[in-house]
Chain A
């Protein structure tokens, strides 16, 4: 008799993220995944109907996880600086603690599963983040501007630093490791730039 095994299921999910993060969706197969987990292909097909089912469950689960991690201790009613600081803190910790997940997200972005991932993420996080943006404009803390302009200034510096860090090198292949001091230095500049 075959039985469900939560540890095995978690291993399958973890390995799937690693394989996709490294090689993308194109080269991903259930067979490869089973080998990486040291289990049989059949075991994976007990849990999942097919490869599409596996990948789409993975995308949905990670949409939720990302939403939850970004909302950790975040209060849309706080001031611009406090709220943005928490968002930086959350995103930074999440990406630094899970370097494999960042690579997986990058692959996800150009995959057919991105839409599903975002839909789940938005269902959790859209409301608080929208409320926050409305509040800070209504209170006159920042100017009204297109969301894309706001995002580029507010978050792109963070993602650039984390990317350098996770790749271990920065511009022109210079070895790089990020620290908290650099994080908050960049953050202060962002706040300075956005605050009215």
Chain B
């Protein structure tokens, strides 16, 4: 069975391209993050992270540190 535990999903308030750019350096330089994207077109502004090492709490801390709301999407 295919496993999707490496896809971490969060509801955020990263609403614009500018917001995304604030987070970009932090997320880009994190070696534990393989890929990330934010769905700016949808109402939950979902942050989707591919990581085999990080846990949800670590990402939440990372994003909140930049001043954005971030909760695990269940």
A interacts with B: yes
Interface residues, chain A, with chain B CB atoms under 8 Å away: 1-4, 29-31, 40-42, 45-46, 49-52
Which A residues are CB-close (under 8 A) to B38? 50
**In-complex Cβ contact of B48 among A4, A29, A45 (8 A):** A45
19 A-B pairs with C-beta separation under 8 A: A1-B3, A1-B4, A2-B4, A2-B5, A3-B3, A4-B4, A30-B42, A30-B43, A30-B44, A41-B9, A41-B11, A41-B46, A45-B73, A49-B37, A50-B39, A51-B39, A51-B41, A52-B39, A52-B41
* Cα A14 to Cα B48 with chains together (Å): 24
Which B residues are CB-close (under 8 A) to A30? 39, 42-44, 46
Which B residues are CB-close (under 8 A) to A49? 37, 48
Classify the secondary structure of B's interface with A.
Answer: loop
Is B4 touching A50 in the complex (CB atoms < 8 A)? no
Would A2 and B3 be within 8 Å (CB), given that A49-B37, A52-B41 are in contact? yes
B-side interface size class: 10 to 19
* Cα A49 to Cα B44 with chains together (Å): 13
* Cα A40 to Cα B7 with chains together (Å): 15
Which B residues are CB-close (under 8 A) to A29? 42-43
Is A3 touching B4 in the complex (CB atoms < 8 A)? yes
* Cα A49 to Cα B39 with chains together (Å): 8
Is B43 touching A31 in the complex (CB atoms < 8 A)? yes
The smallest C-beta distance from B66 to any residue of chain A, in angstroms, reads 20
* Cα A41 to Cα B11 with chains together (Å): 10
Is B57 an interface residue, CB under 8 A from the partner? no
In this complex, which of A29, A42, A46, A50 has the most chain B Cβ atoms within 10 angstroms of its Cβ? Answer: A42
Segment 1-24 of B: residues with Cβ below 8 Å from A: 1-5, 7, 9, 11
Q: Across the interface, name the chain B residue whose C-beta is closest to A29.
A: B43
Which B residues are CB-close (under 8 A) to A40? 73-74
* Cα A42 to Cα B44 with chains together (Å): 10
15 additional contacts (CB under 8 A) given A30-B43, A45-B48, A49-B48: A1-B1, A2-B5, A4-B4, A30-B39, A41-B9, A41-B11, A41-B73, A45-B7, A45-B9, A46-B4, A46-B9, A50-B38, A50-B39, A51-B42, A52-B41
**In-complex Cβ contact of A50 among B1, B3, B41, B74 (8 A):** B41
